[in-house]
Structure 1
Amino acid sequence: MVGCGLQYPNHLKSIILRRRTAVLTIQPFDFQSRTRFVFGGGSIERVGELAAELRSACVLVVSDRGIMEAGHDAAAIKSLQDAGLRVESFHDFAENPTSAMVDAGVRKAAEVKPDLLVGLGGGSSMDCCKGINFVYSCGGRIHDYHGVGKATCDLLPMIAIPTTSGTGSEAQSFALISDAETHVKMPCGDPRAACRIAILDPQLTLTQPHQVTALTGIDALSHAIETQVTLRRNAISTTYSRRAFGLLANSFSRVLSEPNDLDARSEMQLGACFAGMAIENSMLGAAHATANPLTARYNITHGQAVGLMLPAVVRLNGSILNQEGHGAWYSDLVNDLDQNSSTTRVSHSDAPQHLAAMIETWLDQAGLAQSLDQLQIPRSDIESLSQDAMTQWTGTFNPVPLDVDRCRGLYESVAKD
């Protein structure tokens, strides 16, 4: 070994040096999976059994009213009650949960005094549940937990049961809560907010309306794509990003055209979960940074907003990453899809455009808008949108540094069809 008295020829020394240099380019990571994942059709029926394993006596189920109408709420409550637990419910929140909705949930929790929380539904249900957990467990208000690592004590154990295939919140230690007055999104993250158990039951996703399937699917795809290229990307995150993208890209068109295809629904749910795990170990980028102001200012649904911005961001990032020698970052995603076919591999330089075109095809299939004009957002607002985008935390992780000019360019590139 080098350094142990052995001498190597010069050509071998150069190879060893290159290999050492290559190893040093791998980003360090600190990874621990804090969540137990239970996957399978009908697995919602195990929630009572799993809650009992946590030695719980009283459960607060946080689910939106659409989940009640679909019957999922009743199924979870029956399983919990059959296990001998006292169960109460909180439903007074909506999409993009706000600080006021969290406050209402905390008041409910104060009445119920639960020792376990269950977040049942889409990302809004799970995020609202986490937000309630922060404030009920540690006191104060949700604004106190804006950022990372702000929890002052252990939180209640939480079981997440996603009914959509989008945010991957079940795999993350973050809650995304909007300020009730300013509508600014506040990411609140702490390792202690990670769910103790996530139940992935693909049968629950069969009841999603077509539009929800479309919007949440685009959101999940954006997570897989953005986490692949952030400044915090590492060996763990890219493993999840690439696997998530493969599952989602293989199944998204299928669930749009064949909504009862349970295999496709299963792939979408697992893909969204893996993308959530990628976020937990990486972060998001410019597509989310430029999408969030569209949601805050015009109430554009998140999946629509991020879908609108994603192709432009891929093209921007790709042009710079290729110049910097990181062209493989996007091509890895694209070429993973063709590894079992005879299709010619997409080059590093062509991959960003190829990927952006794929996203646009999915947006077409989903029936989503692809311009500010279609969303009736005036181009005169681009300057203020650009300023807002610069305040977004996710933008700081984009592989290409954002400035007002670049944000303005992204919005201008999607201004019209």
Structure 2
Amino acid sequence: MIPFDFQPRTRIVFGPGVVAQLGVLAVEQGAKRVLVVSDPGVVKAGHSQTGIDSLTAAGLETVLFDGVQENPTTANVDAGVAMAKETGAQLIVGLGGGSAMDCAKGINFLLSNGGQMQDYWGVGKATREMLPMIAVPTTAGTGSETQSFALISDAETHVKMACGDPKASCKIALLDPELTVTQPQRVTALTGIDAIAHALETFVTRRRNSCSLAFSRGAWRMLASNYAQVLKDPTNLEARGGMQLGACFAGLAIENSMLGAAHALANPLTSMFGVVHGQAVAVMLPHVIRYNSQLVGDWYRELLQVDVPIEGFPSGDHPAALADFVTQLVSQADLATDLTSLGVDPDSTTQLGVDAAKQWTGTFNPREVDAASLKSLYDAAM
């Protein structure tokens, strides 16, 4: 029996068209002035304006901050804080992918508590309550909408900082699968495989518990059964909804059990070689499954007993079949399955291993990892 402390902090509103409720839900939070944090791609798709229209119709003064880049930096956060102060924001809406939601949380940290982003690297370092936030994800990937962490990169060192505090949790997560239909195919592939990694890693971490496992299992069922479908038919709203809920549930699992070595391995690939996060995770995850299966093979076998029809799903119960299935999904998504094709220097694996060993998520991996074992995983992925 594993003790846990689960406190739901985020109200989840799900369904096609629910973005129209954004204004009403914001009014319920007592706000009159709203800062909408988004990115240029989401603005171009028209989703930011849809949200703004709902807020405006509810009588709220709304300002758009669209200075968010992929892997948001401290510079992005600082610019957003300046705009929030100038407009007197009383509520923050993160409308977009994980980057927009993370940047919104980062802005809230500094706006409510002062200082700089580096001050909140770690857990529980906010001393004051934060402004209410509403998350409106337009991708099915990070699950940031149900997490209390903001992932912000230092603009100078490029180190990705995980800044977490219960006060940073969003009050509401507004999940509208219609917003995910306009994603470019590559974004669908990258964010979807990241969500799958979240489900698989949270299922085996050292902090896994009855609560997190329920979310991990639910996320895995929805993601594994719908990923190939959204790649084949991007307009399939049922599959889009399954992916969005799966990503959200995986986010809840992360909140209660954290991640593992695949994410520890991914971050240095992004900082050193510019490999986008989802692609880095996609390459490393199958190797981590094989590595972990020597210790937790029975846990992986549980995930091979899914009772929903999934095209190409393995019929055996060997953990290696799970790793092979992930590789199959990555290949179907037209993503790279090795590091060499991504331009990673084989001579860099020693340094990559050292850097990966410094990543916090690796400490939750079920099988112990260090610089040497992480280097071997990079070597295997070349």
Alpha carbon RMSD of aligned pairs, Å?
A: 1.5
1:329 aligns with 2:274: no
1:374 aligns with 2:341: yes
Show the 5 A alignment for 1:378-389: 378-389=345-356
Q: What amino acid sits opposite 2:288 in the alignment?
A: V
* 2:376 paired residue among 402, 406, 409: 409
Normalising to structure 1: TM-score of the pair?
Answer: 0.90
From the superposition, tell whether residues 206 and 300 of structure 1 become closer, same or farther in structure 2 (CA, over 3 Å): same
Q: What amino acid sits opposite 2:304 in the alignment?
A: V
Identity of aligned residues (%): 55
- Check conservation: 2:140, 2:188, Cα contact below 8 A: yes
Q: What amino acid sits opposite 2:377 in the alignment?
A: L
- Check conservation: 2:95, 2:138, Cα contact below 8 A: yes
Q: Offset of 1:376 from its aligned partner?
A: 1.2
Q: Offset of 1:182 from its aligned partner?
A: 1.1
1:151 aligns with 2:118: no
* 2:361 paired residue among 390, 394, 404: 394
Unaligned residue ranges in structure 2 (runs of 5+): none
Question: How far apart, CA to CA, are the structure 2 residues paired with 1:286 and 1:240?
Answer: 20
1:67 aligns with 2:55: no
Q: What amino acid sits opposite 2:79 in the alignment?
A: A
In the TM superposition, what whole-angstrom CA distance separates every residue of 1:83-112 from its partner, at most 9, and x where no partner exists?
111001101120000111111111111101
Q: Offset of 1:346 from its aligned partner?
A: 4.0
Question: How far apart, CA to CA, are the structure 1 residues paired with 2:309 and 2:22?
Answer: 38
From the superposition, tell whether residues 201 and 149 of structure 1 become closer, same or farther in structure 2 (CA, over 3 Å): same
Q: Offset of 1:133 from its aligned partner?
A: 0.3
Normalising to structure 2: TM-score of the pair?
Answer: 0.98
1:197 aligns with 2:172: yes
- Check conservation: 1:293, 1:385, Cα contact below 8 A: yes
Secondary structure, counterpart of 1:242 in structure 2: helix
Show the 5 A alignment for 1:15-414: 26-321=1-296, 327-337=297-307, 346-347=316-317, 350=318, 352-414=319-381
Q: Offset of 1:338 from its aligned partner?
A: 5.5
Secondary structure, counterpart of 2:128 in structure 1: coil
- Check conservation: 1:178, 1:184, Cα contact below 8 A: yes
Q: Offset of 1:74 from its aligned partner?
A: 0.8
- Check conservation: 2:230, 2:239, Cα contact below 8 A: yes
- Check conservation: 1:242, 1:332, Cα contact below 8 A: no
Q: Which runs of 4 or more aligned residues in structure 1 lie more than 2 Å from their structure 2 counterparts after TM superposition?
A: 336-341, 343-347
From the superposition, tell whether residues 388 and 333 of structure 1 become closer, same or farther in structure 2 (CA, over 3 Å): same
Question: How far apart, CA to CA, are the structure 2 residues paired with 1:213 and 1:249?
Answer: 14
Max radius of gyration: which structure? Answer: 1
Question: How far apart, CA to CA, are the structure 2 residues paired with 1:261 and 1:199?
Answer: 19
From the superposition, tell whether residues 110 and 145 of structure 1 become closer, same or farther in structure 2 (CA, over 3 Å): same
Q: Offset of 1:340 from its aligned partner?
A: 11
Secondary structure, counterpart of 2:190 in structure 1: helix
Question: How far apart, CA to CA, are the structure 2 residues paired with 1:208 and 1:334?
Answer: 29
Count of matched residue pairs:
381
Question: How far apart, CA to CA, are the structure 2 residues paired with 1:360 and 1:133?
Answer: 38
Question: How far apart, CA to CA, are the structure 1 residues paired with 2:286 and 2:24?
Answer: 44
- Check conservation: 2:304, 2:314, Cα contact below 8 A: no
Q: Offset of 1:339 from its aligned partner?
A: 8.9
Q: Offset of 1:177 from its aligned partner?
A: 0.4
